Amino acid sequence: MNHYSEHIIELFIRNSIEVEPDREAILRHLKACAGCRELAQEIHDFYIQAEDAKKLLVGQSDESTSLVMEAHIEKRHIFSVYIPNSFPVRLVRFVKKKPITSSIFVLGFIALCFISINTIQKRFEANPAYYEYNIKNNSLVVFDKNDTKLWEKRIKEDAASINDFAASSILYRTLTADVDNDGKKEIVSILSFASDEKQSTKARLFDGKGNNINTYNIPFQKIQYKSKLYETEFYPSCVVFGGNKKQSLFVSNNNGRSPSVVVRYDGKGNILGTYWHYGQTLMIFFDVNHDGHDELILNGINDTEDETNGSFATTIILDPDKVVGNCESSATRGFGFPSSNAELCYIRYPNPEIVKQLECNLGASNSTNNKGDKLFRVLNRANFEQSSIAIEYFIDSTFTVKDVKFDAGMLIKHSQLYKEGKLMHPVNDEYIKSLKEAVLYWNGSTWVNTPAKIIGQLSLK
């Protein structure tokens, strides 16, 4: 709103002919503007008082000598208009009336400014967004969201091999996440760096400047399974970060032999729980049953029958929030710990005749899954000589195998062996059906051919 100057308002009050053309507009403005209306009232009151004072003057014959002549009023542009109810005036009145309350307000305002400045500073601090393996420099390189390199560390392992294996097996040896819940992301890595005096055996947490701010200890370096004592040092094989009620860091560890353990850590590096299994596993998060909550999926091998060459590929579906305390798999009992309450489903895949013919072992590994996929995919892979075969299982939300597919290596080798008379069944719909029906589920005491609850656990949906 544009205000009239004090001079114009005074001429309006004095009924001057200079403002006669604008009188209606000025009047409308005074009706709408409380500040100008109050100023007009003050000018009006001033002249009323002046008229009263003039009447008291004795011997004053010419009233014109008691008034300020309009001809002597300086006509100037007023850049600011006095508004008695403006915010600064009200603020000054408030401070005068309530000094204590005003002091508290000022202190709170200062604190708010400090917090805001601190938050802004954090935004500009080094905040990792993603990482890459530099094959040329054989290093791990960390970047922020603007693609600015934050730090780079040379590693002892071959970067090209790590990159290829991570892509083919969806295996994470490094990840980016806000692990300690401080509003900034960190880098978790189980790699051995060139600056390390010896091969790394622990997962470590690095900040945006490359500083090692935490190291995750492994709870055991030796373990007994039934009558066997395993004293070989455990080392981390992969890491994932996630959960539902509260996200945690999960590190899978093995010692090059059958025993393996998944360790769950909180943001400060404290151990929340362990899950022991006889047979090595890889980890991935995925909402298999489409209930809005991610499950922790362990894909790998069960070695309980290794002495009779009966090891088999397996998928274990866990509730990540229930990995609490030292517990073991109900399907590989023998570590001396209670059975885990985290197990939702334990799947056993068959060893088809081609595996027996090639004298190799299938192991389940992570397959490429996109969030929202209707079917969860698990890849069973076996290496032989200089080649490999792979069978992919597709699992629905009830953990039932709905489909089975084969890679080119499997189809070529199976066809060759079948033509040579070394295999009894060709790859056809009947063969696929037989593989699906051969998938078994652990119910806590025995294997069954339909998805079943593990005794003591919640029923499957």
Q: Is the pLDDT of residue 150 over 90?
A: yes
Q: d(Cα 98, Cα 49) in Å, to the nearest integer?
A: 35
List, in order, residues 6 or more apart from 333 with CB less than 8 Å away: 339
290 to 13, 244, 245, 309: CA distances (angstroms): 78, 13, 16, 36
Which of 31-40, 267-276, 354-363 shows the lowest per-residue confidence on average (mean pLDDT)? 31-40
Position 66 scores a pLDDT of 45
Name the β-bridge partners of 212. Answer: 206
Residue with tokens 């022991």, as numbered in its chain: 276
Which of 62-71, 342-351, 399-408, 425-434 shows the lowest per-residue confidence on average (mean pLDDT)? 62-71
Position 460 scores a pLDDT of 39
189 CB neighbour count, 10 Å cutoff: 25
Position 223 scores a pLDDT of 93
Half-sphere exposure of 126 toward its Cβ, with a 13 Å CA cutoff? 14
Q: Report the percent of the chain where pLDDT is more than 70.
A: 83
Task: Specify the amino acid at residue 329.
Answer: S
pLDDT digits 0-9 by tens, 45-77: 777 776 766 666 555 445 444 444 444 444 444
Contact by Cβ (8 Å): 144, 126: yes
Position 276 scores a pLDDT of 97
Q: Is the pLDDT of residue 1 over 80?
A: no
Q: Tell me the average pLDDT of the chain.
A: 84
SS (H, E, C) the chain: CCCCCHHHHHHHHCCCHHHHHHHHHHHHHHHHCHHHHHHHHHHHHHHHHHHHHHHHCCCCCCHHHHCCCHHHCCCCCCCCCCCCCCHHHHHHHHHHHCHHHHHHHHHHHHHHHHHHHHHHHHHHCCCCCEEEEECCCCEEEEECCCCCEEEEEEECCCHHHHHHHHHHHCCCCEEEECCCCCCCCEEEECCCECCCCCCCCCEEEECCCCCEEEEECCCCCCEEECCEEECCCCEEEEEEEECCCCCEEEEEEECCCCEEEEEEECCCCCEEEEEEEECCEEEEEECCCCCCCCEEEEEEEECCCHHHCCCEEEEEEECHHHCCEEEECCCCCCCCCCECCCEEEEEECCCCHHHHHHCCCCEEEECCCCCCCCCEEEEEEEEECCEEEEEEEEECCCCCEEEEEECHHHHHHHHHHHHCCCCCCCCCHHHHHHHHHCCEEECCCCEECCCCCCCCCCCCC
Tell which phi-psi region holds residue 443, choosing left (phi > 0), alpha (psi between -120 and 50) or beta: alpha
Q: Is the pLDDT of residue 113 over 80?
A: no
Instruction: Please give the residue that has the higher pLDDT: either 14 or 152.
Output: 152
